[in-house]
Amino acid sequence: MNARITQATLLDESNEHHGNQVDIRIENGIITEIASSLDPKNGEEQLQFENLIVSAGWFDSSVSIGEPGYEERETILNGLKVAAKSGFTSIAVNPNTLPVTDTNAAVSFLKNKAAGNAVALYPIGALTRNAEGTDLAELYDMQQAGAVAFGDYQHSISNPNLIKIALQYAQGFDGLVLSFPQENDLIIKGVANEGETAIKLGLKGIPALSEHIQVARDLYILEYTGGKLHIPTISTAQSVALIKEAKAKGLDVTCSVAIANLFYTEEVLEDFDTRYKVLPPLRTETDRQALIAAIKEGTIDMVTSDHNPLDIELKKLEFDHAKFGTIAQEATLGALLTLVSEERAVKLLTAGSERFTGTTSKIKIGQPANLSLFTANGTSVFGKEDIRSKSKNSAFLGAQLKGKVYGIFANNQFIAS
């Protein structure tokens, strides 16, 4: 595809035009020219949008897709379409499928089904067989098939020796180990943050302590073994402090935060709306402010949508019985821009690529165009018409958001939002 992106503010610190308004010419999917103004060529499509910003393509480090096994929640093809229309050019897909993504064949299925799409799909393999937390899965075989990391989605590993062995073994092929930050024995049947709100509503609590103990344990093990550790979706001020200390020691650890935990607190649970039942749970305002400070200073490396499509039968239940999870990709940019600048937002939405795939996308002449197109101007209220997922379980319905995604250019394709 040949295209000319016009009057775009370029955000890429590796590019000499960073922060300036430019035109970008793309020929057969390759960036061929970047200049303050470019004359049109025959046969090329002009891409022009109001107050346009162009950045390197965004990477979402935690996305759930139902296929295989739960296609009623989301299919691979529609999930990739949702990602594209939400501004993401790459997604890391969790292994919570049926069967669980814990073999070479399961990883290959995902890669083959997604081939040729504008959005690149990177499978996360389960760390343990069937995500049961008992025996390590076939990590190396999955890595050979294309898995970029290994973790049991929203299932913590109770056995510390498993994490120890995983970190040691994965070093042989530079594998990234994920460990969900929750000590199961401390939560029992908890459904909301343990505190005044949960007590007032009569809901069983998930104490912040359950996260702190698990994070501290895993960091101690990492210090002992070496290796690469990623802690997904932290939610508390103390977790931020623990990870900041570990980074100061030089440990190879990164972490993410889900956009819902940055945007909401436990106070929205007062109507028992299960759209806000997420894991880790929405915490206190003190925790939320600590998370916001951490994404601004860099202690938290990346923001994820933690997009988890669930059908109505799993969410329209009593709060205790509803499943954890929200769809959030469609609202991620708009929610994040209410908290940070567009430059910071881009860093948080692109950082996952290097950590998970070992590659970084740069806006550079001679390189394939891998671009996210958006504006930071304007506000809107997120409504049902903004949901692109098959499932509709969005915590962001009615939220006041900022900016807008225009689309992506990736794999020689332009997908408009």
Q: CA 217 → CA 161, 224, 258, 303, distances in Å?
A: 11, 11, 22, 23
- What letter does residue 248 receive in the DSSP assignment? H
DSSP character string of 162-181 = HHHHHHHHHGGGTPEEE---
Nearest 5 degrees, angle CA 232-CA 237-CA 241?
80
- What letter does residue 57 receive in the DSSP assignment? P
Inter-helix orientation angle 342-357/285-297, to 10°: 80
- Distance separating alpha carbons of residues 353 and 398, to the nearest angstrom: 31
Q: Which helix (H) or strand (E) holds 63?
A: strand 58-63
Sign (positive or negative) of CA dihedral 228, 231, 237, 242? negative
- Distance separating alpha carbons of residues 320 and 318, to the nearest angstrom: 6
Q: What is the rounded end-to-end Cα distance, in angstroms, of the chain?
A: 18
Longest pairwise C-alpha distance within the chain: 67
Residue 264 and residue 291 in contact, taking contact as beta carbons nearer than 8 Å: no
60 a catalytic residue: no
- What letter does residue 72 receive in the DSSP assignment? T
Catalytic residue among 60, 306, 311, 320: 306
- Distance separating alpha carbons of residues 395 and 384, to the nearest angstrom: 11
Q: Which helix (H) or strand (E) holds 35?
A: strand 30-35
- Distance separating alpha carbons of residues 116 and 110, to the nearest angstrom: 12
Amino acid identity of residue 196, one-letter, is E
Amino acid identity of residue 355, one-letter, is R
Residue 369 and residue 190 in contact, taking contact as beta carbons nearer than 8 Å: no
DSSP character string of 326-368 = BB-HHHHHHHHTTTS-HHHHHHHHHHHHHHHHS------TTSB
- What letter does residue 147 receive in the DSSP assignment? -
Q: Is the peptide bond before 281 cis (omega within 30 degrees of 0)?
A: no
- Enzyme catalytic residues: 306
